[in-house]
Amino acid sequence: MDPPSKLRETFASKPVSAHNDAWDSLYAQSFHPWDRAGPSLALADLLAQRTDLIPPSLERDPRGNPLRDSAGAVIRRSALIPGCGLGHDVLLLSSLGYDVVGLDYSRRAQELALENQQKAAAEGKYKSVEEGVDCGRVTWVSGDFFGDAWEGGKGQFDLIYDYTFLCALQPSERPRWAKRMAQLLAPGGQLICLEFPSGKPLSLQGPPWGVWPEVYEALLAHPGEPIEYTDDGNVKPSAAPGQPHPDALHRVCLVKPPRTHKAGTNEDGSVRDFISVWSR
């Protein structure tokens, strides 16, 4: 059975309450075709080329020197990647100086992420990009994104990255995703979304479930509120504009990344994905 068919059949017969365990079972079977064997190309380019959009990983004094706490440790900003899988993007953010939490419900995914981290260290990958400053701390956590048991007092995060997480959720769960993202994002923080698979109709069953830029806009402008879809999976236009939501996130930018992984490209090699950045 080809991977897309196996994914569809795995989740089609299960209630939403059983989906977390289904993902864990797939990892236990060493079935994770969504893994890209490296960090997101679109994220790496955004972090390198659009520093104006991203909170810097380190606090600095007027001379540009990293600020340190009373114990002499560099003060770092925090990042979260839910549904981190094998953790390539976690390691990328760590190399830029962020203290990063890689969250996945699957304990097997957590084990694979740790193995990936150890292998990368042995091969000299993901070295700190700033001389004299170590990589940020990496914490692998197993837990339910929608619960709070995994947080362990970590509070809110300055940077959150979503790639193959929203698209893995049943569309009915998307309002919960938006509400949770709004709760976890710190004031002044940024949520980065690599919008994949862009333009895929919801009639083509997932995961991954299709998304449109307008879907993110509707979800994050009114976190927790349901939305209605057109036949192609876009958002039905509202008859009248609603009241501003107190927890709304606002889109800072929406761009076509210069590069993305093959799964996010058209047959001619052009990029189909979008990447968006959100703040309060």
Name the token pair of 115: 């193995």
234-239: average pLDDT: 83
Q: How many structural domains does the chain have?
A: 1
37-59: average pLDDT: 94
130: confidence class by pLDDT, cuts 50, 70, 90: confident
**Residues 157-186: tens digit of each pLDDT:** 999 999 999 999 999 999 999 999 999 999
The CATH number of the domain holding residue 50 is 3.40.50.150
pLDDT of 74 over the 80 cut: yes
Q: What's the confidence (pLDDT) of residue 242? A: 72
All residues at 6 or more sequence positions from 250 whose CB lies less than 8 Å from its CB, including other chains: 221, 278, 279, 280
Q: What range does the domain containing 27 cover?
A: 3-279
pLDDT of 239 over the 70 cut: no
pLDDT of 153 over the 80 cut: no
pTM of the model: 0.95
Angle between helices 3-12 and 19-28 (to 10 degrees): 140
1: confidence class by pLDDT, cuts 50, 70, 90: low
Q: What's the confidence (pLDDT) of residue 240? A: 58
216 near 248, Cβ under 8 Å? no
**Residues 192-222: tens digit of each pLDDT:** 999 999 999 999 989 999 999 999 999 999 9
